[in-house]
Amino acid sequence: MSAKRCLASVYEQQELVPGIFSMWMLCKEISDEAGPGQFLILYCQDQSRKLGRPISICEIDRENGRIRIVYRVAGKGTEEFSKLKCKDVITVLGPLGNGYDILPGRALLTAGGIGIPPMLELAKQLPGEVTVALGYRDGSMFLKEEFEKYAKVVVATEDGSFGTRGTVLDAIQTEGITGDFICACGPKQMLFALQRYAAKKEISAFLSLEEKMACGIGICLGCAVPVRIGDGFTYKRVCKDGPVFNSKEIIFDE
């Protein structure tokens, strides 16, 4: 499967909560090939911003040739994307990276912040029982009701305004949630905690890493991270070999 560069037409865009936008795009070449956990590179029309912005795939609608992203406005590039209207055109490269495998059994999906969107398509496609633990800073939650269509949902907020006060791992332990495997996406500190939790419980975990990217196709090596190999280590590219890795491979800075 190779990535395709195409001109996508904006089908719909809305602001879910302050600073978080949802955009559906028409791009059949990408929707036909995309899977959960993969990502896209979106390019600005402003030629002063030549590097594309990597954004994870939130939902895939193959029947209608559409693909959805949910993203945070974090700079000039994403600010430009947030101003696009229906029928505006944007250059997109994708699908990119290796995403999540569709595994049988009881799935525990854990996500925090802008790591939440890529878990929605995964929750839709998994064949077994799915529980999702979502972590937010406060009560400004997004996508929660959409996850509830496909999974049991528990929530953690940093300020305690909704659900368990603390992290997604706090929510998992408070609610006594178990699973046959874990899939996760979110801040590095959260992934590190889940790596240790999975090792303690002796269950498989698959973690989606976020690193700064330049090319997005494995050439520049700007997103290379250390991974275990035998008694030593090597480097793998988040954009090409990942972003999803088996937790046993990943070497986090403690």
Q: How far is CA 196 from CA 102, 167, 174, in A?
A: 23, 15, 17
Note the pTM of the prediction, 2 decimals: 0.94
Among residues 68, 96, 124, the one where a domain terminates is 96
For CA atoms 185, 188, 194, 199, the dihedral sign is: positive
- Residues 92, 138: one domain? no
One-letter amino acid at 80 equals E
How far apart CA 91 and CA 108 sit, in angstroms, is 34
- Residues 191, 118: one domain? yes
Among residues 206, 226, 242, the one where a domain terminates is 206
CATH code for the domain of 26: 2.40.30.10
Q: Please state the residue numbers annotated as binding site.
A: 53-56, 70-72, 77-78, 215, 220, 223, 239
- Residues 105, 202: one domain? yes
pLDDT tens column, 54-112: 999 999 999 999 999 999 999 999 999 999 999 999 999 999 999 999 999 999 999 99
Q: Please state the residue numbers annotated as binding site for [2Fe-2S] cluster.
A: 215, 220, 223, 239
- Given a contact cutoff of 8 angstroms between Cβ atoms, the answer to whether 28 and 40 are in contact is no
Domains: count for the chain:
3
Q: How far is CA 109 from CA 92, 128, 177, in A?
A: 27, 12, 11
- Residues 107, 200: one domain? yes
Q: How far is CA 4 from CA 32, 89, 110, 192, 213, in A?
A: 11, 16, 30, 33, 18
Residue 250 sits in which domain range?
A: 209-254
- Residues 186, 225: one domain? no
pLDDT tens column, 137-155: 999 999 999 999 999 999 9
Q: Please state the residue numbers annotated as binding site for FAD.
A: 53-56, 70-72, 77-78
